[in-house]
């Protein structure tokens, strides 16, 4: 086998370096793909859960109303257990307190109320219906009444 010249050796080292860099880049891309696929799987499961949870919310509302108005301890326990099962699946309550700033991402204004003295405009006056979310995804916004200053009209 003939001896390689210095220039040929430098060229071979250069090619090896290029191939090694390409291999490292491909490996990094593959690892990123694995992470993205795993994240997408989790998002898919979360979205599937969100769809099911959203369909169960009206039943939760009815059970909570029944528990609120019933003296039957069994009804109250069933409502609490149903709510807890949904929470364990990732359900989070959106229940803005009075005077909280209205947040259109999590709240739905069903009615505006004239703002009394001492209150701040565009804040929650009253919670009408609890809202729910899973992670950052809002299943149902909280329905609220919001303070607005009275609009003066000239005649």
Give the three-class secondary structure for 14: helix
DSSP state for residue 122 in the 8-state scheme = T
- The more confidently predicted of residues 131 and 152 is 131
Class of domain 92-155: mainly beta
Give me the pLDDT at residue 135, please: 85
Give me the pLDDT at residue 3, please: 75
Give me the pLDDT at residue 129, please: 95
pLDDT, tens digit, 9 for 90 and up, residues 56-102: 999 999 999 999 999 899 999 999 999 999 999 889 999 999 999 99
Sheet containing strand 124-129, strands side by side: 107-114, 142-148, 124-129
Give me the pLDDT at residue 4, please: 73
pLDDT, tens digit, 9 for 90 and up, residues 8-57: 888 999 999 999 999 999 999 999 999 999 988 877 777 778 888 999 99
Give me the pLDDT at residue 51, please: 86
- The more confidently predicted of residues 48 and 109 is 109
Task: Find the helix packing angle between 6-69 and 73-88, rounded to 10°.
Answer: 170
- DSSP H helical segments within 70-148, as ranges? 73-88
User: Band of the pLDDT at 149, cuts 50, 70, 90?
Assistant: confident
Give me the pLDDT at residue 151, please: 59
């Amino acid at each position: 086998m003939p001896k390689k010249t210095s220039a040929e050796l430098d060229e071979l080292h250069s090619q090896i370096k290029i191939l090694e860099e390409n291999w490292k880049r491909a490996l990094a891309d593959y690892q990123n793909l694995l992470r993205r696929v795993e994240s997408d799987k989790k998002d898919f499961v979360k979205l599937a859960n969100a769809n099911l949870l959203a369909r169960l919310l009206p039943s939760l509302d009815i059970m909570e109303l029944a528990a609120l108005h019933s003296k039957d301890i069994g009804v109250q326990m069933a409502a609490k257990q149903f709510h807890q099962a949904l929470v364990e699946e990732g359900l989070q309550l959106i229940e803005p307190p009075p005077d909280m700033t209205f947040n259109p991402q999590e709240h739905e204004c069903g009615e505006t109320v004239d703002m009394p003295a001492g209150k701040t405009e565009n804040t929650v006056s009253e919670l009408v219906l609890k809202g729910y979310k899973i992670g950052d995804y809002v299943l149902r916004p909280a329905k609220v009444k919001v303070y607005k200053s009275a609009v003066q009209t000239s005649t």
